[in-house]
Structure 1
Amino acid sequence: MAKGGKGPKGRKITLNVAKNCIKVTFDGRKRLDLSKMGITTFPKCILRLNDVDELDLSRNMIRKIPESISKFQNLRWLDLHSNYIDKLPDSIGQISTLLYLNVSNNKLTSNGLPVELNQLKNIRTLNIGLNHLDSVPTTLGALKELHEVGLHDNLLNHIPQSIAKLPKLKKLNTKRNPFPKPEESELFLDSIRRLDTLYLVEEKDLCGPCLRKCQLARDKLNRIKTMAMGPPKKPIFSNLISPNSMAKDSQEDWRLRSNISLQ
C-alpha cells in the first residue's frame, strides 16, 4: 500500500491509450475494453469517447463511478464487475439504451443501489451478485424486460415478489444467500397461500372440468406441503437456471452469445 494509506496509485489512462482499446465487435458495434488495466480511478478522458456501444472496466480497482457516466447515451453493455465500487451513481438511470449491466464482485450495499435503476426500462441482464446486499429494491420489479438477474453471494434472506414475478424472467441466480430455511422463503409460502384459496366450494357444486382442475391443484398443494414437512432435497430455486458466472477470466464467448440474443 502506498504511503498515507491511500492504496495503490494505479495506471493512468490517457485518451490515446483509450482510443487504442476500442474494438469493433462482430456486429459492428464499438467496444471500449479497459478491463484488467490496473485502474484505480475512473478515467475522465473516456468521456470524450461517449459514442461507444459497450464499456468494459471490469477487473480493476475502481472505487467510484461518477455521475458523468450518463454521458454514454449509446451504451448497451456496461461491465464493472470485480472492482471496489460501494455505490452506483443516480445518473445511471439516465442511460436508457442499457441492455446489460454487471456490477458483481464489488462492495455494494443495499444503500448503494439508487432508486433510479428502475428507469432502465430496456435492461435485460442485471448482475449484482457477490456484493453485500441485505435487501433488493422492490422497484426493480418495474424492469419488465429483464431476462436474467444475478443475486448470488449476498446477504439476502428473501426475494421480493416484484422481482420473482417479472414477466420475462428466465434466469435467476440466488445461490449462497442466508435464507432462513428453503421452505420459509417468500416464494414458497406465497405458492401455498395462493393454492389454499382454491377450496371455497364443495365438490358437488362443481362441474366435471372444474372438479378435475381443483383436484389437480389439490394434488400439487399436497406435494408442496409434503416437501415442507421433511428435509428439502433440493434448493427452492433449483428450477431456476443460474446465469453464467460474470467473474471468469474470459467473458468474450458469453458476451457474443448475449449480444446475439439481444438483437
Structure 2
Amino acid sequence: MADDAHTPTSPDTADLPSQTRFHRVMLKISGEALMGPQGFGLHPPTVERIAREVKTVHDMGVEICMVIGGGNIFRGLQGSAQGMERTTADYMGMLATVMNALGMQAALEQIGVFTRVISAIPMDQVCEPYIRRRAVRHLEKKRVVIFAAGTGNPYFTTDTAATLRANEMACQAIFKGTKVDGVYDKDPVKFPDAKRFDKVTYDEVLAQHLGVMDASAIALARDNNLPIIVFSLDEPGGLRGILAGEGTYTTVHS
C-alpha cells in the first residue's frame, strides 16, 4: 500500500523507549466515551481528544489495538429489553461499533496516525475483514488497528471481543478506559466512601461483582494471564502516564 514506505518495521522490545514496559497493548473504551456532553452519537471534539491521547502513546513506540463499544448509538441489551429479538439487537449493536471505529480512524488519520479498521462482519467497502496474520502485520508496521463488530457473534460483548483480540494479537495488557480512575468496591459517584483498589485479582472481580468487564471477558483474561489496567479516560495524558509507570489506576491480575 502507498503508506508502506513510510511505516517502519516493528522494533525489538529492547529498542523501545525506556519509559514504557509495554510493547503491544489493547485499548478498550466504551461507545459512551465518544459522545461527550451531547448524550448520543459522536462528539467530534471528544473523539479528537481521545485520538490525541492514542497518538501520544503511539509516539512512544507502543503498538496499539483498539476496541470501541457501540452504546452511544445502539446497545443490543437495551433493544432486547424493549422487545426486540436478541440476536437482531446484538447485530445492530455490532454495526454501531463499526461506525465508531470509522469515526476514530478518521480522527487518528487527521493527526498523522495510520489506522486500519478490521471488522468481524465482512463489509469490504469500508473496512478489512478479520485475518489474524494481516492484523499482526499492520501492528508491526506501526499502524493502529481498530477491531470492530465485536466477535461477529451475538451474545458476546465488546469486552469479550477486546479480550479475545488482545490474546490473538499477543498484547501484554488490556487498558480499560472508564469515567473513574480505577476499580472501586462500590460506585464512587454514588458513594463518597467508596474504596479504590490498587490491585485486585480476577477471582475477586468475579466474586465481588466489581463490574470491570463482563464475566466471560474476565475469565478469558484470567485463563491467559492477561492483566487488565483500569484508568480514567477523562484524565489528560493519563494513558501515556500509566505506560510510563505513573498516575492512578487499578491492575486486575492473577
Larger % of strand: which? Answer: 2
Tell me if both proteins adopt one fold, taking TM over 0.5 as the criterion.
no
Instruction: Name the TM tier (shorter chain).
Output: under 0.3
TM-score normalised over the length of structure 2: 0.25
Bigger CA radius of gyration: 1
TM-score normalised over the length of structure 1: 0.25
Larger % of helix: which? Answer: 2
- The structure, 1 or 2, with the larger RCO (C-alpha pairs under 8 Å, 6+ apart) is 2
